[in-house]
């Protein structure tokens, strides 16, 4: 059973398009995150949701909007994609300190 | 199916002593391994890495050891300091550059 799943795993799209990445966790965790991995493999936190409420919103462009329809899902919608958005995006969920990461979504903007 | 396993959810070590965090992996295609450190309410920050062509990499108080035949790596912190108290994630990467994370080990440094 996959604890944290992301779809799609690979996403190739043109500049200017709008795309979404979905994340689902079946662990019953209260907190979910989105991270962006840079070229040096550093993970930058983008958003965190706790029980459907945004609790961290780092300085990311407002073209990025997280959407949490319920506690098990945290989707990432990106408007007007730019070349610099190309990266691997990780979803994660946590409860009591343990953090479970999804497999990542490699976004390539052409 | 966990490809990267950190079997100890937590570890307590006396200040000044050596902290050893362990990690096992199952995929022999992994060729790059990383350790991340995470404080509460922050994202994981990169700590140290090792390529599969090496068996040791040292950076100050932090040393990572890789045993490819055992598919095992460990992070040694010596001497341990109070600021080292955090959650440590082991991660592995293959040629596709995807990263698989372990679940983390919470390290408590005791005074």
Question: What pLDDT was estimated at residue B58?
Answer: 97
A35 neighbourhood in chain B, CB within 8 Å: 43-44
Question: What pLDDT was estimated at residue B96?
Answer: 64
> What are the tens digits of pLDDT across the range B68-92?
999 999 999 999 999 999 999 999 9
Strand order in the sheet with B62-67: B4-5, B19-25, B72-77, B62-67, B56-59
> What are the tens digits of pLDDT across the range A26-77?
989 888 999 998 776 677 888 888 876 787 676 788 899 999 888 899 999 9
Whether A95 has its CB under 8 Å from any CB of chain B: the answer is no
In this complex, do B34 and A42 lie within 8 Å of one another by their Cβ atoms?
A: no
* Contact status, residue A93 vs residue A31, Cβ threshold 8 Å: yes
In this complex, do A88 and B99 lie within 8 Å of one another by their Cβ atoms?
A: yes
Question: What pLDDT was estimated at residue B41?
Answer: 66
């Amino acid at each position: 059973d996959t604890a944290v799943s992301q779809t799609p795993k690979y996403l190739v799209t043109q500049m200017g398009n709008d795309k979404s990445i979905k994340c689902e966790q079946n662990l019953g965790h209260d907190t979910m995150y989105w991270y962006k991995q840079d070229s040096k493999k550093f993970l930058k936190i983008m958003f965190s949701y706790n029980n459907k409420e945004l609790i961290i919103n780092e300085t990311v462009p407002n073209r990025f909007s997280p959407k949490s329809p319920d506690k098990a899902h945290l989707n990432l919608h990106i408007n007007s994609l730019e070349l610099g958005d190309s990266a691997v995006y990780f979803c994660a969920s946590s409860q009591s300190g343990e953090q479970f990461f999804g497999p990542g979504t490699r976004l390539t903007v052409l | 199916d966990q490809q990267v396993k950190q079997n100890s959810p937590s570890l307590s070590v006396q200040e000044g002593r050596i902290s050893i965090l362990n990690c096992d992996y199952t995929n022999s295609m992994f060729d790059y391994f990383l350790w991340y450190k995470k404080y509460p309410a922050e994202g994981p920050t990169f700590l140290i890495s090792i390529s599969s062509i090496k068996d040791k990499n040292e950076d100050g108080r932090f040393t990572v050891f890789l045993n490819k035949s055992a598919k095992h790596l460990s992070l040694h912190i010596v001497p341990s300091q109070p600021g080292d108290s955090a959650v440590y994630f082991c991660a592995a990467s293959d040629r596709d550059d995807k990263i698989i994370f372990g679940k983390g080990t919470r390290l408590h440094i005791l005074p």
